[in-house]
Structure 1
Amino acid sequence: MVENEATAALVAAARRGDGGALDRLYRRFAPVVHGILLGYAAHADAEDLAQRVFETAFRRLADLREDAAFPGWIASMARRAGLDARRRFAPATGVEIEAVAVHASHEDRVDAERALRAIRGLPEAYREPLLLRLVEGLSGPEIAELTGLTPGSVRVNLHRGMALLRQALAEPDGRRAHEPP
């Protein structure tokens, strides 16, 4: 509860025009927004979309009814932005270039792209916590705090998501057996 109160206090301060509070909200929730967007868009696009989500959120902060609802509100905005981007900017070739470490070998890049493709094929309930854990490096309790989910649901979704990811990666092309090509 203390973290929810801290978030609510930051939102209240941001509504009063405190630029430092806006900065702290951005720093605190940027990994969540970016992680959610990675489920829908290429890395570079996710970074651009994250900036737009925060610009929109901060501009519409007065529309938020409850200060403590900010985590779920910003996550919903990120999901909508991701879905909109997916509809508008589907890659014409079916190939995306992802930002993988420059020093990574070709095999590492191929593995990373395959894993990300497999994660993107998972249901949203599993995809988001996995991206936040594996890509953004957030712990289970951090994911719960920053998304508004309960710690128990995050644990379950991470566990089930990892099981589905293992299954997907066991397939030759990284897709689950029932997923269309």
Structure 2
Amino acid sequence: MIEAASTAALVDVARTGDGRAMDALYRRFAPVVHGILLAYVQAADADDLTQDVFETAIRRLHELRDAAAFPGWIISIARHAALDAKRRPQALTGIEADRTASTERPDEHLEAERSLRAIGSLPGAYRETLLLRLVEGLTGPEIAERTGLTPGSVRVNLHRGMAMLRMALAPGDDTRGNAA
């Protein structure tokens, strides 16, 4: 029953210290937070920062005036955490954890890295929306619900972002050597 509750209702219950509500908020918004973080930092750092963002959000939940504003609020916390991490002289982990545990063939891994670099080169709105769709696996309506964007904005961002991504990944494009 708690899973079906609105975000605002979950926030209200989580403010009372209910662990199930906090867990439901985490499960609902972790892909969004992780996707936003991936737009700015390495995957291994995004994994760690996702936990940090939720720890900050739970600790500061009492500061949120309107429970319905939770999606935008946690995204704002995620963006600030990502920007803070980028300002650090070194990455949080310094390694890319996915490389050691991957069962991908080397050419698949290189293509995935190239694709992530290309997505990273896109404007922020497109980059974040594409990461939520392609990496985190959220549908358009889920992205809209969890980010506060309108469904129309999500469709436009996905459409334009995919067009830009196709161009960036077209043969002969020079994004292979660009660092994200």
Residue type at the aligned position of 2:150 = T
Does the 8 Å contact 1:42/1:98 carry over to 2? no
- 1:20 corresponds in structure 2 to 20
Residue type at the aligned position of 1:42 = Q
Residue type at the aligned position of 2:88 = R
Does the 8 Å contact 2:39/2:131 carry over to 1? yes
CA distance 1:180–1:131, change in 2 (3 Å)? closer
Deviation at 1:103, TM superposition (A): 1.7
Does the 8 Å contact 1:115/1:174 carry over to 2? no
Query: SS state of the match for residue 155, structure 1?
Result: helix
Q: TM-score, normalised by structure 1?
A: 0.88
Does the 8 Å contact 1:98/1:113 carry over to 2? no
Identity of aligned residues (%): 66
The answer for unaligned runs of 5 or more in structure 2 is none
RMSD: 2.4
Counterparts of 2:19 and 2:37, CA distance in 1: 25
- Deviations along 1:8-52, one digit per CA (max 9) or x if unpaired, are 000000011111100000010000000110111111110000000
Counterparts of 1:29 and 1:180, CA distance in 2: 28
CA distance 1:134–1:98, change in 2 (3 Å)? farther
- 1:99 corresponds in structure 2 to 98
- 1:48 corresponds in structure 2 to 48
CA distance 1:27–1:146, change in 2 (3 Å)? same
The answer for unaligned runs of 5 or more in structure 1 is none
How many residues align? The count is 173
- Deviations along 1:82-130, one digit per CA (max 9) or x if unpaired, are 1111121456xxx974626722111100000010011111111101110
CA distance 1:89–1:51, change in 2 (3 Å)? farther
Does the 8 Å contact 1:119/1:165 carry over to 2? yes
- 1:140 corresponds in structure 2 to 140
Structure 1 ranges of 4+ moved more than 4 A = none
Query: SS state of the match for residue 99, structure 1?
Result: helix
Residue type at the aligned position of 2:52 = R
Counterparts of 1:154 and 1:15, CA distance in 2: 30
Query: SS state of the match for residue 128, structure 1?
Result: helix
CA distance 1:121–1:98, change in 2 (3 Å)? farther
CA distance 1:133–1:89, change in 2 (3 Å)? farther
- 1:110 corresponds in structure 2 to 110
Query: SS state of the match for residue 175, structure 2?
Result: coil
